[in-house]
Every structure is written in structure tokens, then in C-alpha cells.
Amino acid sequence: MRLRALLIIMCLAISMIPVAIIGGFQGFEIATAFLGLIVLVTFFVSLIMSYFISRPLEKLTKNIDEISKGNLEVEMEKSEIFEVNKLTNSLKRVMTSLKLAIHKVGVKKGEIFEETIKAKEEAEEKYENLLKNIDNWVWEVDEKGVCKSCSSNITNILGYLPNEIIGNKVFEFIASEESKKVKNAFSEMVRKKQSHASKFETNLIHKDGHNVCVLASFAALFDDLGDFCGFRGIGKDMTESKIAEEKIEKLNKKLSDMKERMRDVLNEREKFKYKPSRKRTMDKLTEEEFDAMFIFDENANIIDCNKNMYEKLGYKKDEMLSLNLADFDYLETKKDIKDKIYKIKKQGKINLKTIHKKKNGSSIFVSENIQYLKDKNMFKCIVKEDL
């Protein structure tokens, strides 16, 4: 509230005191008759008083603005009001000290202010260019959630112009099913005056009506006195990323289902495979009866292999030795292989069927017999192509 208005209101309020006194002694009918006259006189008196009090302050404010622009030769008039005159004298002493400091440094006073203003303008220009060149949306809200500032990139994300966002509560642009949850979370952060940086993901409503998934990173704002005044943050459009994640998840599920079906097919083929009269299991087959052999460590990196192994997969030996088991096993992920290695260590050996991927992208069905070489902490795998 302006000082002049405050003084007028105070004087009008004081004028009610004599009206109340008159009403107490002579009755409210007589008091009412004098009310208009008393208020009118008081109003004009207060207007004159406020003018003589506020006018010197207004002049002093203009002088301070001139000084802030670099004009140290401002003539400051004396005032009839003692307090204002005292403030003017203090300001004159500050100007004298500033002139003396400038003289000692040996620079022109204009250069100091010009450099300061130039640096400020350059910083503001860099900040504006930064906001324009990043894909994200920069925003500020007060403690009630009302948007105070908004970068132009909001148009690319939500289709709105900045002035359509500024002055409105951000909750108005959040999808209805999430609005209440975000409001509650926001209120809790305001209550705690949360100062550390945080993130949250929510769906905002585009100007044309469709939902946009936005990841917001934000931190609390505090004024010069250290009082909490809102949040500043950056919003990133995550819609395409979310769609991609969903597609990857579906593909991974399909791939997992496909691997299970392939394992089932291999097991079914084994049931109908011709077996000689003398019962022999894979455990009893000798290494010579297998087509290939390789050795790997506990991280599934290939350490050594025979000629049949790398030729069957279409590699040179040095290429084969640079591979990991996961690079040519179609059915096993790195996690599956890690679990399998743990199982082999526990049991000592294991037999299984899988599919090996050749260098040219084609594949072959194989049977594997893997043994744990405990003394060397390595694993030997002998492989036979499963026709």
C-alpha cells in the first residue's frame, strides 16, 4: 500500500473518534449531522499532510534511481521533515565515499556502471539464448502453484504460448486422473519447504487435448530474506521415450516367449530322437564324439576353443576368443548365463540344448555338456550339433 493512501486512511479512521464522542454525549442523531463535515475536513487535511510527507520521499527515490544508473552528481534537496533530511545526508556521505573509492582505483565512474549494466545485459541474453536452444521447458511457480514464468519451449511441448500458462495454476494443465495426486504432493512439499532437488513424472494435457508425459526436475526458490517463495524447474517431454519403453517391453516379452517355445521344441525333438539299444546318456559320451569344444571363465568370456568350434560358427580363432557366451547363444541372456554358471558351480556339470548363432546370422541347434574345472575356476563346454 502507498504511504499517501495509508496516511489518508489513518486520518479518516481517527476522525471517527470525535464522532463517537459527540454521539456519546449528544446522541447519534447530532453526531450523524456532523459526520459529513468532520470526514470532509479530515480528508482534505490528511491529503495535504500526506502530500508534504510523501513528496520528499518520492524525490529521494528518484535521486537513488539516478545514482544507480551512474549519475553521482545528483543534487539532493533538503526537506523540512527531519527523518527524510537525515536519510538524505546519509546518502550524500555514501556518494562521497563512492566517489573517493572510484578516484583511488583510477577509473571513470561511468565505466563501472556501464560494465555492470553490460554484464547484466549479457547474462540475461545468454540465459534467454539458453532457454531457446534447449528442448526442455523451464518454469517457475509460487507457493500456490501459480506459474510466474515460462520459457517459449512450452509451445513445442504443450502447444500453449507462455502467456497462456503464466498466471494460471499448473494443476489446470494436469490430466484429471493425476491432478489430485500431484496437488497433494505439491502441498506436502510446500509444507516442508522442501529445498533439495526432486523429480516427478506426470501427464499434462496438450492444447489439442491429448496427454503428454512430462518428467519435471525442480528445486525450491527462496527470496532475498530466505523465505520460501515457490519452485523453479525443467520439464522434459517423455512421451516418445515412454512409447519406446512400452514397445521394448513388449518385444522382450515376445522374445522370452519365443525362447520358451524353442526350448519346448528342442525337448520334444529329444523325445522322438532315435536311441540305440545300448542306453547311453550325454554324460557318458566322450569328447571325441562331440563336434566342438570351448573353455570359458566365470564371466562367460571365451578363453580357448578348438578348430571345429570357431570354424562351425564362421569365426577366426582370435575373433572367437574375443567373444562372450552371450554373443552367440540365441536362447540365453546375460542374466540366464550368470544363473547357469552358478548352477554349474553347484552341481559340477550340466547338460542342455540351445541354439548357437553363426557370424553370418544363421543358427544351429546344439547339445552342450558343460563341466566345472574347479581347480582352474573355469568351465569346459563340449558341443555336438543336433541335426
pLDDT score recorded for residue 286? 46
Within this chain, do residues 373 and 295 fall inside the same structural domain, yes or no? yes
- Name the domain count of the chain: 4
Q: Are 306 and 263 part of one and the same domain?
A: no
C-alpha cell at 185: 504432493
349-357, strands of its sheet edge to edge: 302-305, 292-296, 378-385, 363-373, 349-357
Specify the pLDDT at position 280.
41
Q: Are residues 231 and 249 in the same domain?
A: no
pLDDT at 218: 80
266 part of a folded domain: yes
Structural domain harbouring 257: 243-273
Residue 276: predicted pLDDT: 45
- In Å, how far are 11, 134, 215, 382 from 234, measured between CA atoms? 50, 10, 8, 56
DSSP letter assigned to residue 145? S
Strand partners of residue 293: 382
Whole-number Å distance between alpha carbons of 210 and 217: 22
115 inside domain: no
Q: What is the CATH number of the domain that holds 154?
A: 3.30.450.20
**334 in a structural domain:** yes
Domain ends where: 105, 127, 151?
Answer: 105
Does 127 map to a domain? no
> What gap in Å lies between CA 315 and CA 311, rounded to an integer?
6
User: Do 92 and 143 reside in the same domain of the chain?
Assistant: no
Q: Give residue 118's pLDDT.
A: 63
249 and 288 co-located in one domain:
no
Residue 80 lies in a domain: yes
Task: Check whether residue 156 and residue 99 sit in a common domain.
Answer: no
Integer CA distances (angstroms), 131 to 8, 117, 145, 149, 303, in order: 46, 21, 21, 12, 52
SS3 assignment for 122-133: HHHHHHHHHHHH
Q: Let me know whether 31 and 65 are in one domain.
A: yes
Strand partners, 302: 296
Cross-sheet strand order for the sheet of 198-205: 147-150, 137-141, 228-237, 211-222, 198-205
CA distance 113 to 135: 35
Is residue 100 domain-shared with residue 194, that is, in the same domain? no
Closest to 324 measured CA to CA, from 354, 357, 373? 357
Asked if residues 352 and 344 have their Cβ atoms less than 8 Å apart, the reply is no
Residue 126 lies in a domain: no
* Cα 7 → chain centroid: 48
3-state helix, strand, coil in the chain (%, to 5): 55, 20, 25
Q: Strand locations in 93-166, DSSP E?
A: 137-141, 147-150
Below-70 pLDDT ranges, the chain: 1-8, 11-39, 46, 49-53, 67-73, 79-82, 98-135, 194-197, 263-290, 387
**What is the DSSP secondary structure assignment for residue 282, as one 8-state letter?**
G
Q: Would 172 be classed as within a structural domain? A: yes
Do 229 and 247 lie in a common domain?
no
53-63 pLDDT, tens digit each: 677 777 777 77
| Statement to judge: residues 229 and 259 lie in one domain | no
Is 120 inside a domain boundary? no
Phi, psi of 26, deg, nearest 5 = -110, -10
Contact 138, 131 (CB under 8 A): yes
**Pair 269, 289 in one domain:** no
For 220-233, write each residue's pLDDT tens digit: 888 777 788 888 88
Check whether residue 141 and residue 205 sit in a common domain. yes
pLDDT at 129: 58
Assign 379 to helix, strand or coil: strand
Q: Which of 116, 118, 117, 153 is nearest to 138 (CA)?
A: 153
Summarised one tens digit per residue, pLDDT across range 341-363 is 999 999 999 998 888 999 998 88
